[in-house]
A and B are shown apart, each in its own frame.
Chain A
C-alpha cells in the first residue's frame, strides 16, 4: 500500500504571495491532519479533516486554511506569506477519527519564504 504523498516537496515563495500544498492519504484513510514543523516551535497542529469537514483546528491565524475532497485528498493554503511561515509542512493520515488509530506521516513539503 502506498504511503502518504505530498506535493510539491520543495517550494520557494516571496513574502506576500500565497501557496497551496497537496496531500494524498493512504488508500482507505479518511482523516487527514496537517502539522507545521519549525526549529523554534517544533511540531504544531494546524487542522484535521474528515469526510470533507474540518474537525479540529490549531492556534494559527486565518491565513492558514485547508480543505478536503471527496476522495480524501487534502489541500492546505497559506495566504499573504510571511518570513515566519518558512517551515516543513507535514501531512498525516489515519483510517478515521477514533483515538485508537495510528497516525502515518508523509515526507513533508519544505516551504521557504524569502
Chain B
C-alpha cells in the first residue's frame, strides 16, 4: 500500500526566503507526482506535474524535482511571498489504477 509523507508538517518563514518542502513515498511504481496548493476551506490548485520519466519541472518561482528510485520529491519555492501562505500537498499516481494518494501536507506561513 502506497504511503506518502510530507515533512515538515508546518513551516513559518520570513518573506523573501527560499524554501524546500519534502515529499516521500514508499512504492516507486508511480506514473507521476503532482504538487497542489490548498488555501483554507478551498479546493486544490495544481502547481506542477512531474511524470515518472522526468527529473524536474519548473513554473515561475516553483521548481519540483523527482527521484523515483529513492521515493522522494522536493518543491522549491524561491523568494517566498506572503501570498504563498497555504497548505502544500503532494500526491502520487500509481502505474496501475487511477487513484491519487496524498500526503498530509505542509502548512506554509510566509511572514511579511
Contacts and interface: CB of A to CB of B under 8 A. Distances in A.
Interface of A: 4, 6, 31, 33, 35, 42-43, 45, 48, 55-56, 58, 88, 90, 92, 97, 99-100, 102-108, 110
A111 to B, nearest CB: 13
Contacts of A88: 41
Given A42-B104, A42-B105, A43-B89, A105 B98 contact: no
Given A42-B102, A45-B100, A99 B95 contact: yes
Residue with the greatest number of chain A CB neighbours at <10 A, chosen from B34, B45, B97, B105: B97
Interface residues of B, number: 26
Given A105-B36, A108-B43, A56 B31 contact: no
B26 interface: no
Interface of B: 31-32, 34, 36, 41-46, 49, 51, 89, 91, 93-95, 97-105
Given A42-B105, A103-B46, A105-B46, A48 B41 contact: no
22 contacts: A33-B99, A33-B100, A35-B100, A42-B102, A42-B105, A43-B91, A48-B98, A56-B97, A56-B98, A56-B99, A58-B99, A88-B41, A90-B43, A99-B32, A100-B51, A103-B46, A103-B91, A105-B36, A105-B45, A107-B43, A108-B43, A110-B41
